Chain A
Amino acid sequence: MLSKRIIPCLDVRAGKLTKGVKFQGNIDIGDPVDAARLYYEQGADEIVFYDITASAEGRSILLDVVRRVAERIFIPFSVGGGIRTVEDMRQVILAGAEKVSVNTEAVQNPEIITEGAKAFGSQCIVLGMDVRRTNLGSDIPSGYEMVIHGGRTATGLDALGWAREAERLGAGEICLNSIDADGTQSGYEIDLTRLISSHVGIPVIASGGAGKPEHILEVLTRGEADAALVASMVHYRTHTIEEIKAFLHDRGVAARMHW
């Protein structure tokens, strides 16, 4: 039986973590390579790096981070943020990432999904979706709208329609982030996750709102997510990956318990 994945997400700017990761004794770790290694040791099933630098210089620092991570951790990891072309994808994949994620770029230029899938296979292409609940009476059928530029720009695009379209174009996985829940630590957006996950044939990673293990349990069961992204709750050491997995395992959710 396939295990549900727990995936820590690390935000990187110019090669440094934007939020420190705290470990034993609350030592702040600013190096994404060390943080990735520690999560690997704790049993993370995969790691997501999200690069929030835009400059060319920042990009080459990021590629160096990706190379150093690939030498030291032997689980899959993905890199997103600022990937605009197939050549950007190639550089990140050759540096050692398994997957690349595209978000704003894919909304503006959907062909990048197809081109990326052709060049590297669908399993490499993750569609990142930032989604916001719409107000009553809007003309978005699913009630959820795609937003881009980190949540600053509304697109008028129906989230469910876009998810299905991206699957058709060749996306191999969806990382679904609720802008409404993001950063609240009060739980994932369950209805949104179930809506998308039950209408596509590719895996869905739920993102945004994780604050305690119960939230993760809920999104993996009632929300029908295949994987859960976690950030603050593990970065600030309120919870560890090990503890989250033990919690899930004890409640009958398939989780990888040996690493």
Chain B
Amino acid sequence: MIGIVDYRAGNLTSVARALDYLNESCVITQDFHLLDGASHIIFPGVGAAGQAMANLRQSGLDRHLRRWVQEGKPVLGICLGTQVIFDHSEEGDTPCLGILSGTVRRFRADLQPDGRRLKIPHMGWNRVAFRRDHPVFAGLPETAEFYFVHAFYPAPAEERWAVGWTDYGVRFCSAVARRNLVAVQFHPEKSGRPGLAILANFCRWEGTHAQ
């Protein structure tokens, strides 16, 4: 059973629908007892970092998330879920969970080499250069693209945690991994077949990976 953490950060049903399609049973809940019983945790979310952190603290799920990561349960962060895993977000100058060291930065709307402004949010399909050896990102075609919609991006303190990179005016880290934790900035549940492959890989993953 896959547990999807519900902390009132947007519509989480699309992740559940993708898991249904993959024949993986799942539950969307804010009840940490139910999530304790799940083999894997998915931590999605869209919206603002400040509100997300307020909801996580109020529900106590912030402590449980830290605990699940410490206990070795496989955890997958998606989009806003990925961002709040870090120490701090520039979005509303928000202190975050601090599960991974690093910050979350805003794209700068500077002029690009072609003389046009970078549109923000970064919305649409883009490539991810994955480090080839992580089980969750195994078997993906190099030319696969993933669906992004975000104005902020993660900057992990340790470069070795970055397992995927994407170009959008700046080269940013779009996938991170450390022990039993993986987190992506894009939406695997909305990225067609390559995205579904990542979710299927995650559901089969035991949470172990030589770093």
> B residues within 8 Å of A by Cβ?
10-11, 13-14, 17-18, 20-21, 46-48, 109, 116-117, 119-127, 141, 143-145, 147-149, 167-168, 189-196
Q: Could you tell me if A198 and B193 are in contact, using CB atoms closer than 8 angstroms?
A: no
Q: How far is the CA of A5 from the CA of B123 in the complex (A)?
A: 10
Q: Which residues of A contact B122 (CB under 8 A)?
A: 2
Q: Which residues of A contact B18 (CB under 8 A)?
A: 74
Interface stretch (choices A30-38, A51-59, A90-98): A90-98
Q: Could you tell me if A227 and B147 are in contact, using CB atoms closer than 8 angstroms?
A: no
Q: Could you tell me if A202 and B147 are in contact, using CB atoms closer than 8 angstroms?
A: no
Q: Could you tell me if B121 and A123 are in contact, using CB atoms closer than 8 angstroms?
A: yes
Name the 6 nearest CB pairs between A and B, nearest first.
A258-B143, A3-B125, A256-B125, A256-B145, A123-B149, A259-B192
Given A74-B18, A75-B191, does the pair A3, B119 have CB atoms closer than 8 Å?
Answer: no
> A residues within 8 Å of B by Cβ?
1-5, 40, 45, 70-72, 74-76, 93-94, 96, 98, 120-123, 172-173, 198, 201-203, 224, 226-227, 256-259
Q: Across the interface, name the chain B residue whose C-beta is closest to A120.
A: B10
Q: Could you tell me if B145 and A227 are in contact, using CB atoms closer than 8 angstroms?
A: no
Q: Could you tell me if B11 and A94 are in contact, using CB atoms closer than 8 angstroms?
A: yes
Q: How far is the CA of A72 from the CA of B196 in the complex (A)?
A: 12
Q: How far is the CA of A239 from the CA of B152 in the complex (A)?
A: 37
Q: Could you tell me if A121 and B195 are in contact, using CB atoms closer than 8 angstroms?
A: no
Nearest CB on B from A224, distance (A)? 7
Q: Could you tell me if B46 and A76 are in contact, using CB atoms closer than 8 angstroms?
A: no
Q: Across the interface, name the chain B residue whose C-beta is closest to A95.
A: B13
Q: Could you tell me if A201 and B109 are in contact, using CB atoms closer than 8 angstroms?
A: yes
Q: Could you list some 13 contacts between A and B, CB below 8 A?
A: A1-B127, A3-B125, A3-B145, A70-B14, A74-B190, A93-B11, A96-B13, A121-B47, A122-B121, A226-B124, A258-B144, A258-B194, A259-B192
Nearest CB on B from A163, distance (A)? 13
Q: Could you tell me if B189 and A2 are in contact, using CB atoms closer than 8 angstroms?
A: no
Nearest CB on B from A168, distance (A)? 14
Nearest CB on B from A104, distance (A)? 24
Q: Could you tell me if B167 and A96 are in contact, using CB atoms closer than 8 angstroms?
A: no
Q: Could you tell me if B123 and A75 are in contact, using CB atoms closer than 8 angstroms?
A: no
Known: A74-B192, A226-B123. 14 other contacts (CB 8 A): A1-B127, A70-B13, A71-B20, A74-B193, A75-B147, A96-B13, A121-B46, A121-B47, A173-B123, A226-B119, A256-B125, A257-B143, A258-B144, A259-B192
Q: How far is the CA of A103 from the CA of B149 in the complex (A)?
A: 22
Q: Which residues of A contact B20 (CB under 8 A)?
A: 71
Nearest CB on B from A214, distance (A)? 21
Q: Could you tell me if A71 and B21 are in contact, using CB atoms closer than 8 angstroms?
A: yes
Q: Could you tell me if B145 and A201 are in contact, using CB atoms closer than 8 angstroms?
A: no
Q: Could you tell me if B124 and A3 are in contact, using CB atoms closer than 8 angstroms?
A: yes
Of listed B123, B143, B195, residue having the most chain A CB within 10 A: B123
Q: Which residues of A contact B120 (CB under 8 A)?
A: 201-202
Q: Could you tell me if B167 and A1 are in contact, using CB atoms closer than 8 angstroms?
A: yes
Partner of B119, one of A72, A121, A202, A259: A202
Q: Could you tell me if A2 and B192 are in contact, using CB atoms closer than 8 angstroms?
A: no
Nearest CB on A from B45, distance (A)? 10
Q: Which residues of A contact B196 (CB under 8 A)?
A: 74
Nearest CB on A from B89, distance (A)? 15
Q: How far is the CA of A3 from the CA of B167 in the complex (A)?
A: 11
Partner of B46, one of A3, A75, A123, A198: A123
Q: How far is the CA of A71 from the CA of B192 in the complex (A)?
A: 12
Q: Which residues of B contact A257 (CB under 8 A)?
A: 143
Q: How far is the CA of A45 from the CA of B159 in the complex (A)?
A: 31
Q: Could you tell me if A203 and B13 are in contact, using CB atoms closer than 8 angstroms?
A: no
Q: Which residues of A contact B189 (CB under 8 A)?
A: 74
Q: How far is the CA of A120 from the CA of B51 in the complex (A)?
A: 12
Q: Which residues of B contact A74 (CB under 8 A)?
A: 18, 21, 189-193, 195-196
Nearest CB on A from B18, distance (A)? 6
